[in-house]
């Protein structure tokens, strides 16, 4: 990296001054990147894509678009520009994942081209090579092939564009001495766009100051003053993000309780972890296991101390090596800083590092490497071309280096293509994560959730058990393991896991409710009642506890109290078909004339049928009984026929085997 003055006007690329060479270089960059990410176009939705896309209610209408911008908490994180792009695409191509993947890839390609343009303007050697590394390095796959990480690719594009616009501001100040307002406003607007995509963009004003210092070797108040709005906006958005992570996402508790010393140890190790993945991007993993942090382990101090030693050496030898290496290292550290463990973010629950954290920060080492490679190539080429104007074998100067750069680009593109295939679907992704990071408990937990959804219950239990062995104190895994055992018919095991979960966290409403269900199914009804009542006590607004408590009370013969709890459940969930069905059933079967109410049962049963998903023959059968007892015989007969047709069409004839006999009874007046 040169330390000359000025910020360039248009810049030239060292690969060749001719327009056709620049065009060919741009085409090669675009083509290799598109080919590298081609597998992502055939990928589906994976982890977190449900919260951001498929299950995001704000993407459906204009009211949702308003909530994206004005209601922090309406979406998982307050990155309104990201969700706005999702909103637009949802209305363009629905929930077809290929469109979202293509947008991510194109944003990444545009960022790479803009990086090349920016570095060329700064007259940095190796500008094209740095952009190529940024575009095709496999460590970037997580940001590009994962739809949820639109946050990174959109932020990156606005960040680099804002930087380019700010350099134009500096050009006008230094070269023309005239107005710089237009480019300054453009830069500020682009910076706000990057902040609205991801808060890591807050490092932007620091990057500007690093570039000014790199070029001039000094900073003044005149350099800092125009950046104050950038600093304030970044700090404000950072506070919003920290508040969201703690209050909305849930990044608080024992798993985030680290001392400052422990956080420094985490940061030092993460610093070198990312550099190692840039130098040797293998193996890459969607989730890396969280390592243990211990202030008593002296070897862990080597990571932060050597990182500080690196910066000290770069400062000490800045006159000999130039300011470029130090500026690149400072950019890397400053941009990576929000993800080094000093601030609580939710993923710290299961990992301290992730490939997508260094999407932008990786530019620092990449630019340094490309600049050093270009400088070395020039020095090696100089003796052979002295006085001849051409290198040996009649090739133009730089052609060999361009060929080597292209080979590197092809190699990285191949590695990226291979890595992008992992994002094909959620099962492939988690199985690959287990292969590369077998001790990552979250991967075992999440593949078990996939198998649970696929009704492969024994397989789900096996992976949940492995997750529990890796992270014995995680109460979410214990609850999930209990639920999987229930579905696999292993009720005694389920009770054991639910009880273990309550030892870890005694106040979890859902666990008491699930334990009560398992105990009730085993015939241990008094024990079940204790846990149903505890669930209701912990959260009176938990409808499932109200429903299950009602069932247990019915079993004891306490119909009126059961009805009271069902009405509470309906107050909490007015469209809950199960509660409607059960309350209507009680109103029909009750022998108490003061409680028995067939007309009210009709209304409830109609609601149950209306709100049940895909229909339910049992609900229709109940509605027919309610019609019959309310004196609506013809409606009862029609409804029973509808129930018979539905049970045949859905293969659920076992749920209503008495329908034919009930039809005959209605026809005979019984």
pLDDT of residue 20: 82
Q: Is residue 328 part of a domain?
A: yes
> What's the rounded mean pLDDT across residues 197-208?
97
Per the prediction, the chain carries an average pLDDT of 90
pLDDT of residue 179: 55
Q: Return all residues near 432 (Cβ < 8 A) that are at least 6 apart.
A: 285, 286, 422
503 domain residue, yes or no = no
Largest Cα–Cα separation, the chain: 114
Of the candidates 104, 97, 55, 105, the one whose C-alpha atom is nearest the C-alpha of residue 76 is 55
Q: 482 vs 410, which has greater pLDDT?
A: 482
Dihedral pair phi/psi, residue 343, rounded to 5°: -120, 140
Give the pLDDT of residue 644: 83
Q: Using alpha carbons, list the distances in angstroms from residue 192 to 114, 118, 197, 409, 632.
A: 18, 19, 9, 33, 65
CB 536 within 8 A of CB 546: yes
Q: Is the pLDDT of residue 9 over 60?
A: no
From the list 146, 143, 186, 144, the residue with the least C-alpha distance to 162 is: 186
With a cut of 50, say whether residue 385 has pLDDT above it. Answer: no
Residue 208 has pLDDT above 50, yes or no: yes
Neighbours of 241 (CB within 10 A): 23
Domain assignment present for 29: yes
Confidence band, pLDDT 50/70/90 cuts, at residue 297: very high
- Return the percentage of the chain with pLDDT > 70, whole number: 90
For 384, half-sphere exposure in the C-beta direction (CA atoms, 13 angstrom radius) is 15
Please state the rounded mean pLDDT for residues 564-583: 94
Residue 633's pLDDT band, with cuts at 50, 70 and 90, is: confident
CA distances from residue 162 to 32, 37, 85, 234, 427 in whole angstroms, order as listed:
26, 26, 19, 14, 38
Question: Cα separation of 100 and 45, whole Å?
Answer: 10
Q: Is residue 30 part of a domain?
A: yes
- Burial code (b: 16+ CB inside 10 Å, e: under 16) for 489-510 equals ebbebbbbbbbbbbebeeebbb
Structure-token match 């944003």, residue found = 107
| Residue 440, phi-psi category: left (phi > 0), alpha (psi -120 to 50), beta (remainder) | beta
Q: Read off the tokens for 453.
A: 């959804």
Convert the pLDDT of each residue in 352-378 to its tens digit.
999 999 999 999 999 999 999 888 877
254 against 383, higher pLDDT: 254
The CA distance from 565 to 545, in Å, is 9
Task: Report residue 405's pLDDT band, with 50, 70 and 90 as the boundaries.
Answer: confident
Average pLDDT for residues 439-444, to the nearest whole number? Answer: 97
d(CA 234, CA 191): 9
User: Rounded CA gap, 518 and 609, in Å?
Assistant: 28
**In whole angstroms, what is the distance from residue 84 CA to residue 101 CA?**
16
Q: What is the mean pLDDT of residues 18-42?
A: 91
**How far is Cα 249 from Cα 409, in angstroms, rounded to an integer?**
39
Residue 378, number of CB atoms within 10 A of its CB: 16
- In a domain, residue 268? The reply is yes
Mean pLDDT of the 375-395 span = 52
pLDDT at site 174: 53
Q: What is the mean pLDDT of residues 287-299?
A: 97
pLDDT at residue 84 in the model: 98
Higher-scoring residue by pLDDT: 597, 405: 597
3-state DSSP assignment of residue 617: helix
Element counts in the chain: helices (H) and strands (E): 32, 0
CA distance 474 to 511: 13
What's residue 386's pLDDT? 34
Section 447-451 average pLDDT: 97
Query: What is the CA angle 392-394-399, rounded to 5?
Result: 80
Is position 530 within any domain?
no
Any residues with CB less than 8 A from the CB of 521 and at least 6 apart, and which?
486, 491
DSSP class of residue 292 equals P
Q: Is the pLDDT of residue 442 over 80?
A: yes
CA-to-CA dists, residue 303 to 254, 263, 332, 361, angstroms: 24, 12, 16, 18
Whether residue 485 lies inside any domain: the answer is no
Count of domains observed in the chain: 2
Please state which of the ranges 7-16, 157-166, 222-231, 320-329 shows the lowest mean pLDDT. 7-16
Query: Residues 112, 278: contact at Cβ < 8 Å?
Result: no
> What share of the chain has pLDDT > 90, as a percent?
76
How far is the C-alpha of 62 from the C-alpha of 393, rounded, in Å?
Answer: 65
Query: Residue 654: pLDDT above 70?
Result: no
| Spatial separation of the C-alpha atoms in residues 203 and 566, rounded to whole Å | 54
pLDDT (mean) for 586-596: 85
pLDDT given for residue 444 in this prediction: 98
- pLDDT of 658 reads 65
Q: Is the pLDDT of residue 657 over 90?
A: no
CB contact at 8 A, 619 and 594: no
User: How does DSSP assign 140-193, residue by residue?
Assistant: GHHHHHSGGGHHHHHHHHHHHHHHHHHHHHHHIIIII-S--HHHHHHHHHHHHH
State which residues form the domain around 599: 595-670
Return the closest-CA partner of residue 201 out of 152, 251, 137: 152
Residue partners of 331: CB distance under 8 A and separation at least 6? 203, 206, 207, 210, 361, 363, 364
User: 3-state class of 669 per DSSP?
Assistant: coil
- What's the CA dihedral at 506, 511, 512, 513 to 10 degrees? 160
pLDDT tens, 63-92? Answer: 999 999 999 999 999 999 999 999 999 999
Whether residue 164 has pLDDT greater than 90: yes
Please check whether residue 609 lies inside any domain of the structure.
yes
pLDDT tier for residue 664 given thresholds of 50, 70 and 90: low
């Amino acid at each position: 990296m040169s330390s000359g003055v000025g910020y360039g006007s248009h810049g030239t690329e060292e690969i060749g001054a001719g327009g056709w060479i620049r065009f060919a270089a741009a085409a090669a960059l675009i083509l290799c990147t598109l080919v590298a990410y081609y597998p992502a176009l055939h990928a589906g939705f994976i982890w977190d894509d449900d919260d951001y896309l498929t299950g995001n209610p704000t993407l459906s209408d204009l009211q949702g678009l308003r909530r994206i911008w004005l209601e922090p908490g309406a979406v998982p994180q307050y990155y309104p520009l990201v969700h706005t792009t999702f909103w637009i695409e949802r209305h363009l191509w629905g929930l077809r994942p290929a469109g979202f993947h293509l947008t991510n890839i194109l944003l990444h390609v545009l960022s790479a081209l803009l990086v090349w343009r920016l570095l060329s303007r700064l007259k940095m050697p190796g500008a094209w090579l740095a952009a190529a590394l940024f575009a095709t390095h496999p460590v970037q796959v997580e940001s590009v092939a994962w739809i949820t990480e639109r946050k990174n690719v959109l932020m990156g594009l606005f960040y680099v564009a804002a930087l380019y616009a700010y350099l134009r501001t500096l050009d006008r100040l230094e070269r023309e001495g005239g107005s710089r307002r237009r480019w300054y406003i453009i830069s500020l607007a682009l910076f706000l766009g990057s902040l609205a995509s991801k808060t890591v963009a807050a490092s932007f004003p620091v990057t500007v100051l690093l570039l000014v210092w790199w070029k001039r070797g000094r900073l003044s108040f005149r350099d800092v003053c125009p950046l104050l709005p950038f600093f304030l906006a970044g700090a404000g958005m950072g506070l919003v993000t920290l508040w969201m992570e703690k209050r909305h996402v849930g990044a608080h508790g024992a798993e985030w309780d680290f001392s400052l010393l422990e956080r420094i140890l985490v940061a030092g190790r993460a610093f070198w972890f990312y550099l190692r993945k840039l130098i040797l991007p293998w193996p890459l993993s969607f989730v890396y296991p969280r390592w243990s942090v211990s202030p008593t382990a002296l070897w862990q101090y080597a990571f932060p101390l050597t990182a500080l030693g690196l910066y000290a050496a770069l400062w000490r030898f800045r006159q000999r090596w130039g300011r470029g290496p130090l500026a690149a290292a400072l950019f890397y550290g400053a941009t990576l800083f929000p993800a080094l463990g000093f601030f609580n973010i939710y993923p710290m629950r299961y990992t301290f590092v992730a490939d997508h954290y260094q999407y932008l920060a990786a530019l620092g080492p990449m630019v340094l490497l490309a600049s050093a490679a270009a400088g070395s190539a020039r020095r090696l080429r100089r003796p052979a071309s002295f006085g001849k104007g051409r290198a040996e074998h009649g090739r133009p100067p730089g052609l060999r280096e361009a060929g080597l750069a292209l080979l590197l680009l092809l190699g990285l593109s191949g590695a990226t293509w291979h890595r992008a295939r992992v994002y094909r679907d959620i099962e492939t992704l988690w199985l690959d994560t287990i292969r590369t990071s077998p001790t990552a408990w979250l991967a075992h937990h999440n593949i078990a959730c996939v198998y649970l959804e696929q009704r492969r219950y024994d397989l789900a239990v096996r992976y949940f058990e492995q997750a529990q062995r890796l992270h014995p104190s995680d109460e979410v895994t214990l609850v999930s393991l209990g639920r999987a055992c229930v579905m696999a018919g292993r009720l005694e095991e389920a009770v054991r896991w639910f009880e273990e979960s309550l030892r870890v966290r005694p106040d979890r409403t859902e666990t008491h409710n699930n334990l009560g269900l398992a105990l009730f199914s085993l015939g241990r009804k008094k024990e079940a009642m204790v846990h149903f009542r505890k669930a209701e006590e912990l959260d009176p607004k938990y409808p499932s506890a109200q429903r299950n408590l009602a069932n247990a009370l019915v079993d004891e013969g306490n119909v009126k109290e059961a009805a009271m709890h069902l009405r509470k459940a309906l107050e909490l969930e007015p469209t809950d078909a199960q509660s409607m069905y059960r309350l209507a059933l009680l109103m029909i079967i009750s022998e108490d004339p003061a409680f028995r109410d067939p007309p009210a049962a009709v209304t409830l049963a109609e609601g149950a049928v209306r709100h049940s998903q895909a229909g339910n023959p049992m609900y229709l059968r109940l509605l027919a009984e309610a019609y019959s007892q309310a004196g609506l015989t013809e409606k009862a007969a029609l409804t029973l026929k509808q129930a018979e047709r539905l049970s045949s069409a859905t293969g659920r004839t076992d749920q209503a085997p008495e329908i034919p006999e009930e039809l005959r009874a209605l026809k005979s007046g019984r």
